[in-house]
Structure 1
């Protein structure tokens, strides 16, 4: 479904991503794992052209994403940020409705989808739909961010440290809800994290990166049982 071919990205003299290639199949949970600065977020942003690669290609269902207008590409990929990225001057309902409005959905359809997602994600429509982000807890804001990414029912979901800004108890609860919710089970998900437990809990496959390169890629069991070098053993604390 999504294929990265020999991606490169440089910022000044820093080689952020070096010759990164992988394929993600429909329905997979593909986790980009590594320390801060290893290139995982840069890689994620090149998938929907928030950053343009200096070299290489990204294919979506066989089509080169460089040939797809960037706004059109991004509307087909939900995007979730660590700090939610909610518009502070929009209500919860308005935040969730952003992409459906861009796609010219009918007003009633937008309201129905918003209410459905809020209910699924544990938010009361009557209490929260007309609230502003600053009036919500961190966990509630993250749920709104997830709802916004899901609103237009995109087949692909990109997630950049989506639970990283939350306290441990809230993070564990939302992560569990995320893994069990039917809305997520039918998506192709590519997620960035530095948390080994999170990666191994959620991943179909893990792509461990260091210094802009892929060190090892495989299922959680493969990384645990067949680490390719000392870096993998140390990072995973094996």
Structure 2
């Protein structure tokens, strides 16, 4: 599904990402885990070309993403941000409808899809569809952000600290809802987090990064039982 080959990115004198490679199979949930500044968000942004790499290649189903127009590439990848990135002057319904409208869905299909996703994520059309982001709680805003990313049913979902801005109780509740939602189980997901518990709860595999490099990659069990070095043991507090 997604293959990253020798990806690198430099900002001035800072080597943010250095020669990293990995593959993500269809239906897999890969978590990019690490401390702030380790290169995980930069890596995520290079996958959908929010940033272009200085070196290396990203392949989507065997096609070099550098040959795909960025707008078309991004419409095929849902993207969820920590602070939701909702358009403040759009209602909830309008925010969710952004990508389907760009893809020229019929108006009735857009509304039906938005209403269905809202219901699955604990929101109702009657109460929430015509509200604006500032009228919602943080947890509700995050749910709208998830619904918007899912609206056009993209096969790939990129998530950058999607629960990081929430209080611990709301964060745990939405994370649990996320893991149980059928919509997400059908996706190929790459998610960024610095939270070890979150990574181990959601990941098929974990990619632990430090200083722009991959330190260890494997299932949560493999990292816990066979840490590659002292950094892994210290980060996971083993």
Q: TM-score range by the shorter chain?
A: over 0.9
Q: 5 Å matches for 1:82-161?
A: 82-161=82-161
Deviations 1:164-190 (A, max 9, x none): 000000000000000000000000000
> SS where residue 162 of structure 2 aligns?
coil
User: 2-side partners of 1:126 and 1:3: how far apart?
Assistant: 42
TM-score normalised over the length of structure 2: 1.00
User: 2-side partners of 1:178 and 1:29: how far apart?
Assistant: 12
Shift of 1:80: 0.0
Shift of 1:48: 0.2
Deviations 1:43-71 (A, max 9, x none): 00000000000000000000000000000
User: 2-side partners of 1:88 and 1:237: how far apart?
Assistant: 40
Counterpart of 1:237?
237
User: 2-side partners of 1:148 and 1:94: how far apart?
Assistant: 9
Deviations 1:142-182 (A, max 9, x none): 00000000000000000000000000000000000000000
> SS where residue 31 of structure 1 aligns?
strand
* 1:11 is aligned to 2:11: yes
> SS where residue 38 of structure 2 aligns?
coil
> SS where residue 16 of structure 1 aligns?
strand
* Stretches of 4+ aligned residues off by more than 4 angstroms: none
Counterpart of 1:180?
180
Deviations 1:21-52 (A, max 9, x none): 00000000000000000000000000000000
Counterpart of 2:195?
195
TM-score normalised over the length of structure 1: 1.00
User: 1-side partners of 2:37 and 2:171: how far apart?
Assistant: 22
Shift of 1:2: 0.2
* 1:29 is aligned to 2:26: no
Query: How large is the Cα RMSD of the aligned pairs?
Result: 0.2
Counterpart of 1:171?
171
> SS where residue 123 of structure 2 aligns?
coil
Counterpart of 2:228?
228
User: 2-side partners of 1:232 and 1:84: how far apart?
Assistant: 30
Counterpart of 2:75?
75
Shift of 1:124: 1.1
Q: Which stretches in structure 1 are left out of the alignment for 5+ residues?
A: none
User: 2-side partners of 1:156 and 1:44: how far apart?
Assistant: 12
The count of aligned residue pairs is 238
